[in-house]
Amino acid sequence: MSDRVAALRDAYGEALAELGRTNERIVVLDADLSPTTKTSIFAKEFPDRFFDVGVAEANLISVAAGLASAGKIAFASTFTVFGVEKGLNQFKQSVAYPRLNVKLVTTHGGMSVGEDGSSHFCLEDIAIMRSLPHVTVILPADAIETKAATKVIAEYNGPVFMRLSRPKTPLIYDDGYRYEGRDLDFKIGKSLTLRDGKDVTIVATGLMVAEALRAASDLVKEGIDAGVINVHTIKPLDREAILRAARGTGALVTVEEHNIIGGLGGAVAEVLVEEAPVPMVRVGIRDTYGESGPWKELFAKYGLTAANIAQAAKKVMKRKS
Amino acid sequence: MVPFNEKKAPHDEVLVKKLNKIALSIRRDSLIMTTKACSGHPGGSLSSADILAALYFHHLRHDPQNPSWEGRDRFILSKGHGCPALYSALARAGYFPIEELWRLRKVGSILQGHPDMKRTPGVDASTGTLGQGLSIGIGMALAFKLDGRDSRVYVLLGDGELDEGQIWEAAMSASHYRIDNLTAIVDFNRQQLTGCVDRIMSLEPLADKWKAFGWQVIEIDGHKMKQILDSLDEAEKVRGKPTVIIAHTIKGKGVSLLEQSFLEGECKFHGTPLTEAELNKALEELHE
């Protein structure tokens, strides 16, 4: 992991503009937040293919559905809490149910929104979206993965929800989507094992992947060999990788910037309970709404740091049979 | 050769007579379908039967032999619960066999309780949760403009549906984008699920509301075939802004039992089918 930082949303905006140059079918919609979701980068270059519907999220989603049903690849963006929750029935009925080619890509997910406070957090989007049939749910871990993911979902024909974040965060990958000298492919539904371990596996998504890697490095000092899997696609979940980790290390920690109810932890638990019950501990926001503050301080207060993850790893290892 | 691209034919007595006859069939089908299904929405199907006959058998450019033809006009039944009338129009236009109508709302049927674009040939949008059809239509209209297509979009709205905030989000954006390749039609039968529109949630002054949102407004008697046909043509000539046809209709139109029931403030035929005995009596009324 490098010391460089970048915002996922910047990478998204740049990827959209690149896509726009080669694919006429790409259209982008926003709800009066384009400078901050970074769809403005596309809008500036392709004003005819950009539609700002104003502060009207229900309309945003259904207009995107109409564009998609007439052959367009429609990217709709706003903040996560508004896109997922103010347009939810629209997304379910007019996008997910008929499997239309709409990509709901929302920024400002989770708690890393920071100072704006709980009205602007979204800590339940994974639970909501993964319970909708036909919907692919993606949380990239850094800006480089965001760029790769944006290009892949544009090629995929069907509804996608992708959650991005506000702050600049550490780059996990090297430019061109490489990790420790390996070239990577972003494959929907295929997780990435970033570190092999023997004692415990940390299964993380989104911004928490960086914290998970940090925790694994810290655990080495205590003689614990922890593996790290980046589950960038929560639905469809990479069951094989989860089961391999469960059987290989006998204990799992899930880590997400989301309520511990129904998100990555829930998805992993569902697989384990049915196929390979091993001890598991969830790291996430413990069923509360949060508050305003700088995001790193909030992560510390609400238990989303490398130290919390390392602690959870040690705790779960004690339960190994 | 496109079977129902007959927009240019004169709105003469022959045409009006033909379309009125089709509207009668749509009414009969809608009542039989809902009675057989033991559920469904007869009242609002009957109020929109004439509009659907005008669209599917004269005005719309479409091809029942090729439901996914890209050059077709699009029709969205935003008031999705009125789908028995739509299904009848589609079947009689040739999208699927008439016999399918009698399987409405049955397990495995292509005809769902509310319109489903993936299951029913000819259905252009999945609706049923009110308020979304106009927005979907705007998306289609924008796509046609981007692609330089001359297809038009038609959206049929219920009056109760106009309580939904999203309708007005859509209304605002349609005029903002100067969408003139979309025509909205309001089936203004003045009754919603639990009673009279004026009592549940006042809509008036309805025409002024649409005008204030930047729309061209045409008001018609939604059961006078020539007025329907003329208004659809007139809407097409409007440039630089969207047009809404406010069609004054009667819920349960054509069947005295239903008309009288709604007139007396009962709402049961909004979402309750006729009994076999009521149906037989109603069908006697639905003849030329």
Cβ pair B129:A93 closer than 8 A: yes
Q: Catalytic residue positions of A?
A: 57
CATH 3.40.50.970 assigned to A5-170: yes
| Chain A residues within an 8 Å CB radius of B141 | 66
Q: Do domains A5-170 and A189-318 have the same CATH topology?
A: yes
Provide the CB-side half-sphere exposure for B8 (13 A, CA). 0
Looking at CATH, the fold of the domain delimited by A189-318 is given as: Rossmann fold (3.40.50)
> Min CA distance, A132 vs chain B (Å)?
16
Q: How far is C-alpha B96 from the geometric centre of its chain's CA atoms? A: 19
**Rounded Cα distance, A267 and B253, in Å:** 52
pLDDT of residue B164: 98
More confident residue, A303 or B3: A303
**Chain A residue numbers touching B117 (CB-CB < 8 A):** 69, 98
Residue B93 · residue B101 · CB < 8 Å: no
Cα torsion at B146, B150, B156, B157 (round to 10°)? Answer: 30
Residues A211 and A226: their CA atoms lie apart, in Å, by 13
| Other beta carbons less than 10 A from residue B126's beta carbon | 29
The residue of chain B with its CA nearest to that of A48 is: B146
Per-residue pLDDT of chain A (321 residues; tens, 9 = 90+): 778 999 999 999 999 999 999 999 999 999 999 999 999 999 999 999 999 999 999 999 999 999 999 999 999 999 999 999 999 999 999 999 999 999 999 999 999 999 999 999 999 999 999 999 999 999 999 999 999 999 999 999 999 999 999 999 999 999 999 999 999 999 999 999 999 999 999 999 999 999 999 999 999 999 999 999 999 999 999 999 999 999 999 999 999 999 999 999 999 999 999 999 999 999 999 999 999 999 999 999 999 999 999 999 999 999 997
Tokens of A296: 């790193």
Q: Among residues A315, A236, A304, which one has the least CA distance to residue A280?
A: A315
Q: What is the ipTM of this complex?
A: 0.95
Q: Encoding tokens for residue A187?
A: 């494959």
How many residues are listed for chain A in this entry? 321
Distance to chain B for A72, nearest Cα, Å = 7
Q: Which of B117, B140, B146 sits opposite A98 (nearest CB)?
A: B117
Please name the residue of chain A whose CA is at the shortest distance from the CA of residue B151.
A70
Written as six digits, the tokens of B267 are: 């709402």
pLDDT score recorded for residue A315: 98
Most A-contacting residue of B132, B134, B152 (CB-CB within 10 A), to test interface: B132
Give the list of residues 6+ apart from residue B49 with CB closer than 8 angstroms, or none.
Answer: B23, B24, B26, B27, B30, B85, B253, B254
Residue B182 burial by CB count (10 A; 0-12/13-18/19+): exposed, middle or buried?
Answer: buried
- Copy the structure tokens of residue B60: 């719309």
pTM over 0.90: yes
Residue A63 has its nearest CB partner, among B127, B131, B135, at B135
Q: Where are the domains of chain A?
A: 5-170, 189-318
A49 CB neighbours in chain B (<8 A) are 146
Of residues A94, A80, A104, A88, the one with CA closest to residue A28:
A104
CATH tag, B14-285: 3.40.50.970
Q: Which residues from A are below 8 Å from B71, CB to CB?
A: none
Find the largest Cα–Cα distance for chain A: 61
Q: Angle of helix A8-22 relative to helix A143-155, nearest 10 degrees?
A: 40
Tens digits of per-residue pLDDT, B24-77?
Answer: 999 999 999 999 999 999 999 999 999 999 999 999 999 999 999 999 999 999
DSSP string, B101-158: GGGTTSTT-SS-SS--TTTSTT--S---STT-HHHHHHHHHHHHHHHT----EEEEEE
Cα distance between residue B35 and residue B43, in whole Å: 12
| Radius of gyration over every alpha carbon of chain A, rounded to an integer in angstroms | 19
Asked if the Cβ–Cβ distance from B173 to A54 is below 8 Å, we say: yes
The pLDDT of residue B1: 38
